[in-house]
Chain A
Amino acid sequence: MTERPEPYEDRAPGPGPYEDEYRIALLRERLAGDGPAELGVRVERRGGVVLLTGTVPTSTRREEILDLARATLTGLTVRTDVAVAGRDAPDHGEELS
Chain B
Amino acid sequence: MTLPGPEPTGREAVVRVAAVGDIHLGEDCAGLLRPAFEALPDCADLLLLAGDLTRHGSVAEAEVVAGEIAGLGVPVVAVLGNHDHHADTPDEVTRVLRDAGAHVLEGESAVLPVAGHKVGVAGAKGFCGGFLGRSAGEFGEPEMKAFVRTARRGAERLARALGELAEHGCAVRIALTHFSPVPDTLAGEPLEIYPFLGSYLLAEAIDAHGADLAVHGHAHLGTEHGMTAGGVRVRNVAQPVIDHAFALYRLPLDGHPTRPHAPTARYGTR
Contacts and interface: CB of A to CB of B under 8 A. Distances in A.
A34 B88 CA distance: 13
Contact of B213 (A39, A55, A88, A96): A96
B216 interface: no
Interface string B213-248: 100000011000000000001000001101111111
Interface stretch (B26-34, B94-102, B111-119, B161-169): B26-34
B132 interface: no
Contacts of A96: 212-213, 233, 249-251
B57 to A, nearest CB: 9
A54 B245 CA distance: 17
A70 interface: no
Interface residues on B, range: 35 or more
A58 B29 contact: yes
Interface in A75-97: 83, 85-90, 92-97
Contacts of A56: 24, 240
A45 interface: no
A87 B220 contact: no
B245 A88 contact: yes
Contacts of B23: 57
Q: Which 8 pairs, one residue from A and one from B, show the smallest C-beta to C-beta distance?
A: A93-B248, A55-B240, A40-B220, A86-B243, A89-B36, A90-B244, A85-B239, A89-B39
